[in-house]
Structure 1
Amino acid sequence: MATALSVNLNAVAMLRNRRDLPWPSVTGIGRIALAAGAHGLTVHPRPDQRHIRFSDLPAIRQLIDDEFPGAEFNIEGYPSGDFLDLVAAARPEQVTLVPDDPSQPTSDHGWDFVADAALLKPVVARLKAEGARVSLFADAEPGAMAAAADTGCDRVELYTGPYGGTFADPDAAAREVERLGAAADAAFAVGLGVNAGHDLTVANLPPLVRRIPGLAEVSIGHGLTADALEYGMAETVRRFRRACGQVV
C-alpha cells in the first residue's frame, strides 16, 4: 500500500493570520487538498494560536465529516490539559504527541520514551479510549522503539528534519535515509506503525518511501505550501502523492 499524505495547514493559517481577514481560508485550502486526493489534514494548535487557531478545529472537523468522510484529521501537540481538551472536542482520527516547548518555532526532536514514560502512558491510554490512533514523535534511534511501544502508542512519527537538511549533500542524504530506515525497521519489529514528517519534499520523499516500504503516512506542511505558491494546491497535492508512490 502506498504511503498516505496528510496536508499540514499550519503555514496556510500563518499566512491568514498576517491580516485580520478570513483569507486564505484554512478550510477552503483544506477542501482543495482533500479533493485532490490527500488522505487527511494535519494541524498543530499551539497555545499562542500563532497559526492554527482553536476555532479552526471544529470547522476542519465539520469539513471532513460533511464532505470527505473517508479522510482523517490529525492533531499534533504537547499533551497539556488544554490540548487534551481541544482533542476531545475535535475527535481526530489520529493524535500525534510532540515534546515541544510552547516557544519553539517548530518541532525539532522526538520524545525520550524512557524519561517521559510516566507522562505518556496515561495520556496515550486516554486518547485511545476516546477513539484516536496515537502516534509519538520520535528521533531516528532504533534502540528507542521498544520503549516507545511500551507507552501503548500505535505508531511513531519519525522526525525527518535532519534528512530534509541534507538537500545539497547526496551522501549525507543517503546516510540519513538509512538512519530513518533502521529506526523504522526497529519500530516494525515491536509492532508499531511508522509515520514520518518534517522538511519532506517532492525530491526527497521517493528515497525515503523506497527505504521504508511500510511507511504509513507523511504529514507535510512547509514544503508543500511553498510548492503550492508555484503549482497551486491541487497540483501540488498530486505531485506529493506521486512522490509517495501513489498512482494519480
Structure 2
Amino acid sequence: MMTALSVNLNAVAQLRNRRNLPWPSVVGLARVVLDEGARGITIHPRPDERHIRRTDVFDLAALLRDEYPAAELNIEGYPSEDFFALIDAVNPQQVTLVPDDPAQATSDHGWDFAAEAELLATVVQRIKAPDRRISLFCDPDAGAAGVAAAKATGADRIELYTGPYGDCHDDPDRAARELTALAATSRAAHAAGMGVNAGHDLTLANLPAFQSAVPHVDEVSIGHGITADALLIGFADAVRQYRAVLGS
C-alpha cells in the first residue's frame, strides 16, 4: 500500500523563531518538499506561537491554494474557540484534533475516546465539512474498543501516536511490542471503515519496520526526524528518501 507523506514544518518554524529574521523560510521549505512529491504540509499552531505562527498558517494556506492545489494542508490542534476560528478562516483539507495542554512541549498521548466522547462528537460535528476530513490523535494500544469509540464521534480517521515506538530506538524488544499494538489498532480502524494516519518520532531508521508491520496506513506526518535528516542531506533529498520507504 502506498502511504502519503505530509511534512510537519513546526521544527523549521521553531528554528526561525530563534531570531527575529525571516529565515529559514517556512513557505520556502514548503515549496521544496512539495516540489519533491510530499503530498501535504502539517502544522500545529500553538497559542504561544513558539513555532508555527498564525501568519504562517495563512501564508501556507495561500501557497497550497495558489501553487499546489493538489496538496493538502493538515492543521493539528486542541479544539479551543481560537482553533475553531482559525479552521473556519483557513479551511484546511484535514484537521487533526489532539488532547494537548497548551503548555506541552509536544503531543505525547492520544484521546481517551470513551471519557471525551461527548466533547469529541460535538467538535467533529462543528468542524466537519464535505471537503474536509477529521482525524483524532490515538494511543497505539487503543485497540478495537478505542477505535469504536473514535468512530462514534463521526471522525474520518485516527492518527496513530507513534512516539512510544520512536522512543524504542535502543530497545528492539520493546519496539516489537509497540509495533504489535500499532498494527492491531490500525487493523481495527480499517475494519471499522476509518482511515489511518500516523506520526511522531518516525525516522528513516525506524520507518521501514513500521511500514512492514503496520497495515492500512494512509498517511504519515513527519517533522522532527525529517528536519534532523535535512540538516545533513537537505530537505529535497530527505523527502526523496522518506518517499522511497513509503512507496509514494
Asked if these proteins are the same fold (TM beyond 0.5), I'd say yes
Question: Partner residue of 2:92?
Answer: 92
Indicate yes or no: 2:10 matched with 1:10.
yes
List per-residue Cα deviations over 1:199-246 (Å, max 9, x = no partner): 000111122112233100000110110100001000000111112123
With 111-120 and 205-214 compared, the bigger mean Cα shift is at: 205-214
Percent of residue pairs identical: 61
Query: Equivalences for 1:134-149 in 2 at 5 Å?
Result: 134-140=134-140, 141-142=142-143, 143-149=145-151
Please report how far the alpha carbon of residue 130 of structure 1 lies from its aligned counterpart in structure 2 after TM superposition.
6.6
Letter in 2 for 1:107: S
In structure 1, the residue matched to 2:225 is 223
Distance (Å, rounded) in 2 between the aligned partners of 1:57 and 1:88? 12
C-alpha separation in 1, matches of 2:231 and 2:212: 28
Q: Per the alignment, in what secondary structure is the counterpart of residue 129 of structure 1?
A: coil
Runs of 4+, deviation exceeding 2 Å = none
Q: How far 1:73 sits from its partner (Å)? A: 0.2
Q: 1:104 aligns to what SS in structure 2?
A: coil
Identify which range, 86-95 or 125-134, moves more after superposition. Answer: 125-134
Equivalences for 1:30-179 in 2 at 5 Å? 30-129=30-129, 131-140=131-140, 141-142=142-143, 143-179=145-181
Alpha-carbon distance in structure 2 between the residues aligned to 1:120 and 1:227: 35
| TM-score relative to the length of structure 2 | 0.97
For 2:204 and 2:21, how far apart are their aligned partners in 1? 31
Unpaired segments ≥5 residues, structure 1: none
Would the aligned equivalents of 1:203 and 1:243 in 2 still touch at CA under 8 Å?
Answer: no
3-state DSSP of counterpart to 2:54: coil
> Gaps spanning 5+ residues in structure 2: where?
none
Aligned counterpart for 1:202 among listed residues 201, 204, 210: 204
> Could you tell me how far apart the structure 1 residues matched to 2:189 and 2:79 are?
22
| Aligned partner letter, 1:167 | H
Query: What RMSD, in angstroms, separates the aligned Cα atoms of the two structures?
Result: 1.0
**Alignment partners' CA distance in 1, 2:12 and 2:76:** 16
CA distance in 2, matches of 1:120, 1:128: 11
Q: What amino acid maps onto 1:71 in structure 2?
A: A
Deviations 1:68-107 (A, max 9, x none): 1110000000000001111111111000000000000000
